[in-house]
Amino acid sequence: MRTIGKTALWAFLLAAALLTLFPILVTLLGSFKTNAELTAGATILPTSWQLSNYAEAWRQANFSAYTMNSLFVAAASTIGILLVSSMAAYVADRMTFAGKRLYIGMQAFTMFVAIGAVVLRPQFELMIKLRLQDTLWGVVLILVSAHASAFFILLSFMSGIPRELDEAALIDGCSRGRTFVKIVLPLLAPGLGVCALFAFRGAWNEYLLPFVFTLSKPELQTLTVGLASLKYGVSAASQTHLMMAGACLSIVPILVAYVFANKSFMQMSAGAIKG
């Protein structure tokens, strides 16, 4: 019975892995096909590997410029989310203040109640008043404001850090700010890595906000917006093969971010606590 159970478990895990990887594999293989072959869908493997699809996708989608715009939005919003959420989690966990439960409840409300494009107009009007409607800083500011998920992740990590460390630092003359930077923040490294990965991925894949904020300035478009231009060529013909090639190129920064974030998962706070 135990052997049967293990076999069923491995069969289920293998099926789940195949279902997850199959769309990625189809996209990767399709990026090397011609558009006619891809449309026909007769074979899984390309009959001839079209490496030129990647060069053409890079040229048509203006990858060099749009990638820099995407990197700016993703990096700036990730840094902002980590700063805001870590400080908010520290205050919410370590301090007592009026309206604390209300604040945490509002954070939960913004995370679980998603109204999507409904808030896009007031957000844009707010950026107009701040004169950020034609810049990528407006996109960054809106993305940073949606930090509730990172807040709760870091709040759970914060609860695992002994309060005695804070008290010892305060007795030694450290201020609250210095205690947070020198003592607490290094111990939050695993949680910060997880939040950084999620924040970077969300900002990198964001489409609607960059699309709206760059309508009047196409040179500020991010990669996700630029990829949409690959859908149709100059003759209004579908270019699905180029879209797949562009999608594969756009995945690379996410994989790099995962490699760096994965290192932080292995960091242990035991050494710092002993020290």
Evaluate whether residue 137 is within a structural domain. Answer: yes
Residue 15 lies in a domain: no
Q: Is residue 19 included in any domain, yes or no?
A: no
pLDDT greater at residue 152 or residue 61: 152
pLDDT tens figures, 18-49:
888 888 888 888 788 877 777 776 677 787 78
> Cα 173 to the chain's mean position, in Å?
38
Amino acid 116: pLDDT: 62
Is residue 40 domain-resident? no
**Full residue range of the structural domain in which residue 235 is found:** 60-274
For the segment 209-218, what is each residue's pLDDT rounded down to a tens digit? 888 888 888 8
φ, ψ for residue 84, nearest 5 deg: -65, -45
Total domains, the chain: 1
Q: Do 30 and 248 meet the contact criterion of CB atoms below 8 Å apart? A: no
Amino acid at 146: A
Residue 214 in any domain: the answer is: yes
> DSSP state, 223?
H
Residue 76: inside a domain: yes
Rounded CA gap, 151 and 181, in Å? 17
Which CATH number covers residue 181?
1.10.3720.10
Do the domain assignments include residue 45?
no
Indicate whether 191 belongs to any domain: yes
Tokens standing for residue 252: 């690379």
CA pair distance 232, 240, nearest whole angstrom: 8
pLDDT in tens, 199-209: 998 899 888 88
Give me the mean pLDDT over the 87-116 stretch.
Answer: 82
Using alpha carbons only, give the angle 40, 44, 49 rounded to the nearest 5 degrees: 90
